[in-house]
């Protein structure tokens, strides 16, 4: 499924993680380091969820990080995270449909046990 998602123009790679950053499966391009990506996302998501909880907001559903060299889309699938890395030129309005479809398919797989 991740390989198919990565065929979308502008996507550099995708990875499924547990909420604390443990890699479940990964299809990242050679320019992306799996451990670094997992650590970054795990840290950001853990801190964001804690802040949302302390502010009595609902849980995070989606987060988009934009940097100079690309974007990271994080979809919260409750028991895991779908993380998609794109280049800086990707139009997320178009790409989000592919990401949302992949997230829906992963949700249908059920609970991931680690």
Residue 19 forms part of a structural domain: yes
- For 11-47, write each residue's pLDDT tens digit: 999 999 988 889 999 999 989 999 999 999 989 988 8
Q: Is residue 113 part of a domain?
A: no
Cβ atoms < 10 Å from Cβ of 72: 19
In a domain, 100, yes or no: yes
| Chain segment 48-77, per-residue pLDDT in tens | 888 988 888 888 899 999 999 999 999 999
Looking at residue 74, what is its pLDDT? 95
Does residue 114 fall inside a structural domain?
no
Q: Which residues pair with 7 in a beta bridge?
A: none
Asked if 6 and 13 touch (Cβ cutoff 8 Å), the reply is yes
**How far is CA 47 from each of CA 19, 43, 90, 93, rounded to the nearest angstrom?**
11, 6, 27, 27
At 98 the pLDDT is 94
Asked if pLDDT for residue 113 goes beyond 70, the answer is no
Residue 91 lies in a domain: yes
Q: Tell me the backbone φ, ψ of residue 108, rounded to 5 degrees.
A: -65, -20
- Its domain, for residue 51, covers 2-108
pLDDT in tens, 67-104: 999 999 999 998 899 999 999 999 999 899 999 999 99
Give how many domains the chain has, as a whole number.
Answer: 1
Q: Could you tell me the CATH number of the domain that includes residue 76?
A: 3.30.450.30
Does residue 34 lie within any of the structural domains?
A: yes
């Amino acid at each position: 499924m991740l390989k198919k998602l990565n065929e979308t123009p502008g996507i550099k790679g995708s990875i499924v993680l547990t909420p604390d950053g443990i890699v479940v499966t990964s299809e990242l391009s050679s320019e992306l380091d799996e451990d670094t990506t997992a650590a970054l996302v795990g840290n950001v998501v853990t801190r964001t969820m804690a802040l949302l909880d302390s502010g009595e907001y609902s849980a995070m559903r989606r987060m988009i990080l934009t940097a100079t060299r690309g974007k990271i889309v994080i979809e919260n699938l409750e028991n895991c995270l779908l993380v998609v890395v794109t280049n800086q030129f990707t139009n997320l309005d178009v790409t989000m449909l592919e990401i949302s479809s992949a997230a829906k398919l992963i949700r249908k797989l059920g609970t991931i046990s680690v």
